[in-house]
């Protein structure tokens, strides 16, 4: 069956089910579409209702509770971080389809390259050993580092890079839930490292994609694009392939597919990549996103913002994306915008943040993503409170989430774009 026929059949089944479900069903929102490949059907599932139920009584909880069971919309506020990796293998067709079904208006392909310099969707050039089945195949012999079992205090290890194999070899692999069992004595046990709060229910056969294939899929799903140019694990230039060549090749894939520049938000943690796009591909560069992972930055101290917010803006940067804790702080026990957030807003920078639903259950402070507001985080009921502050007080344009239903629900309820 062709790709188009398969997708059409899926929509027919979805329509059949949707017509037989009560729209008041808690946590489930369905809009019945006309049959098309770019379906507008949005299914949120039970998680938004679960999160609302965990909240303390407040005006926000009452507002969100009133939206449960109401139709949801596709929204640019909801960005599918690597697809929907809370339950699906990241950066796979299955995860992307799930993210789009949950209302994500933008989907992310993390971009790296193979031995023959072809662009593919992987979060790192060195993650095949934790995100695919490569160690269980004959291609394991080509890995930079083969599997080594745990011994004493030394954890089990392996390293398999996309640059270790050709595109044809990459296509033979299957995606899996990201994780590794560091106490493993065998490859089979090493591959069983999924965090307990994720699931293997949909994780056994993820379909890997090239960057170009992700573009075709996202176009078909009716969503916008946010490719991230990942830092190479190999020395650059690689066999004559320079960093500029790499950055240009990413943009060229959108040109070849006829994608409008305003639908693409290219990202990088490397400011030089962003500046390259601004200078050499200005129509794409105006929406280029600088992922701010500066380790020496203190979000409470503007003197550590180097380059400053105004310097970034003057260089042509329009979108800035730090982790969500950088945008928040506490005042009298309340979650409020950080000095970083206020400085960015004053400079006219658009803010995006990452990553919701990546910490697991929000107990005991919420972990790394909530570190500046840890004292206020005591359970999953705080998640939508954090989203509310980010949206209303910080003014973020979008939030990356490992489960886009959460952000789609909030945005639909608050009538955000």
23 touches 69 (CB < 8 A): yes
Look at the chain and count its residues. Answer: 417
pLDDT at residue 81 is higher than 50: yes
Identify each DSSP E strand in 83-161 by its residue range: 104-107, 110-113, 119-121, 145-148, 157-159
Which of the pair, 99 or 6, is modelled with greater confidence? 99
- Summarize pLDDT for 365-396 with one digit per residue, the tens: 999 999 999 999 999 999 999 999 999 999 99
- Summarize pLDDT for 236-254 with one digit per residue, the tens: 999 999 999 999 999 999 9
Q: How far is CA 140 from the centre of its chain?
A: 27
Task: Give the C-alpha separation, 373 to 65, whole Å.
Answer: 25
Number of other CB atoms surrounding residue 272 within 10 Å: 10
Whether the pTM exceeds 0.75: the reply is: yes
pLDDT band at 70 (very low <50, low <70, confident <90, very high): very high
Provide the mean pLDDT of the chain: 92
120 φ, ψ (degrees, to nearest 5): -135, 165
In three-state secondary structure terms, 384 is helix
- Summarize pLDDT for 9-31 with one digit per residue, the tens: 333 333 333 333 332 233 333 33
Half-sphere exposure of 188 (CA within 13 A, CB side): 0
393 touches 337 (CB < 8 A): yes
340 touches 299 (CB < 8 A): yes
Q: What is the pLDDT averaged over residues 105-119?
A: 98
Task: Give the C-alpha separation, 119 to 170, whole Å.
Answer: 11
Task: Give the C-alpha separation, 224 to 38, whole Å.
Answer: 12
Q: What is the pLDDT of residue 6?
A: 37
Q: What is the pLDDT averaged over residues 145-172?
A: 98
Domains of the chain plus CATH, in order, are 75-109+209-413 (3.20.20.190), 124-190 (no CATH)
Sign of dihedral through CA atoms 378, 380, 386, 392?
negative
Q: What is the pLDDT of residue 40?
A: 59
Task: Give the C-alpha separation, 214 to 112, whole Å.
Answer: 13
pLDDT band at 157 (very low <50, low <70, confident <90, very high): very high
Is omega for the bond preceding 238 within 30 degrees of 0, making it cis? no
Q: What is the pLDDT of residue 348?
A: 98
Alpha helices in 299-370 (DSSP H): 309-314, 339-346
- Summarize pLDDT for 296-353 with one digit per residue, the tens: 999 999 999 999 999 999 999 999 999 999 999 999 999 999 999 999 999 999 999 9
Q: What is the pLDDT of residue 13?
A: 36
- Summarize pLDDT for 255-273 with one digit per residue, the tens: 999 999 999 999 999 999 9
Task: Give the C-alpha separation, 204 to 177, whole Å.
Answer: 8
Residues ≥6 apart with Cβ < 8 Å to 67:
409, 412, 413
């Amino acid at each position: 069956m062709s790709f188009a026929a398969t997708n059409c059949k899926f929509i027919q089944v979805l329509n059949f089910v949707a017509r037989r479900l009560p729209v008041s069903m808690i946590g489930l929102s369905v809009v019945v579409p006309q049959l098309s490949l770019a379906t507008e059907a949005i299914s949120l599932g039970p998680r938004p209702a679960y999160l609302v139920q965990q909240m303390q009584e407040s005006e926000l909880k009452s507002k969100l509770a009133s939206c449960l069971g109401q139709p949801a919309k596709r929204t640019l506020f909801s960005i599918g971080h690597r697809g929907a990796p809370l339950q699906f293998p990241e950066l796979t067709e299955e995860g992307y389809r799930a993210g789009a079904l949950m209302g994500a208006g933008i989907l992310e392909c993390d971009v790296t390259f193979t031995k023959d310099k072809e662009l593919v969707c992987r979060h790192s050039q060195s993650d095949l050993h934790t995100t695919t089945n490569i160690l269980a195949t004959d291609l394991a012999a080509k890995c930079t580092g083969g599997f080594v079992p745990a011994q004493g205090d030394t954890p089990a290890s392996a390293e398999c890079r996309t640059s270790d194999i050709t595109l044809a070899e990459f296509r033979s692999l299957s995606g899996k839930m990201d994780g590794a069992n560091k106490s493993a004595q065998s490859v089979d046990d090493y591959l069983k490292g999924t965090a307990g709060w994720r699931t293997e229910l949909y994780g056994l056969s993820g379909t890997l994609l090239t960057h170009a294939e992700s573009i075709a899929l996202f176009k078909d799903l009716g969503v916008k694009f946010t490719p991230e140019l990942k830092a190479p694990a190999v020395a650059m230039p690689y066999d004559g392939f320079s960093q500029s060549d790499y950055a240009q090749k990413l943009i060229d894939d959108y040109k070849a597919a006829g994608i409008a520049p305003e639908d693409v938000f290219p990202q990088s943690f490397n400011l030089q990549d962003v500046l390259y796009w601004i200078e050499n591909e200005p129509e794409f560069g105006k929406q280029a996103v600088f992922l701010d992972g500066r380790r020496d930055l203190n979000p409470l101290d503007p003197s550590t913002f180097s380059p400053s917010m105004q310097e970034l803006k003057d260089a042509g940067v329009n979108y800035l994306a730090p982790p969500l804790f950088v945008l928040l702080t506490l005042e009298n026990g309340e979650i409020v915008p950080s000095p970083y957030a206020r400085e960015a807003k004053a400079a006219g920078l658009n803010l995006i943040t990452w990553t919701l639903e990546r910490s697991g259950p929000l107990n005991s402070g919420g972990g790394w993503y909530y570190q500046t507001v840890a004292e206020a985080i005591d359970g999953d009921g705080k998640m939508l409170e954090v989203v509310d502050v980010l949206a209303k007080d910080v003014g973020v344009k979008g939030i990356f989430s490992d489960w886009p239903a959460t952000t789609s629900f909030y945005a639909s309820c608050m009538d955000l774009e």
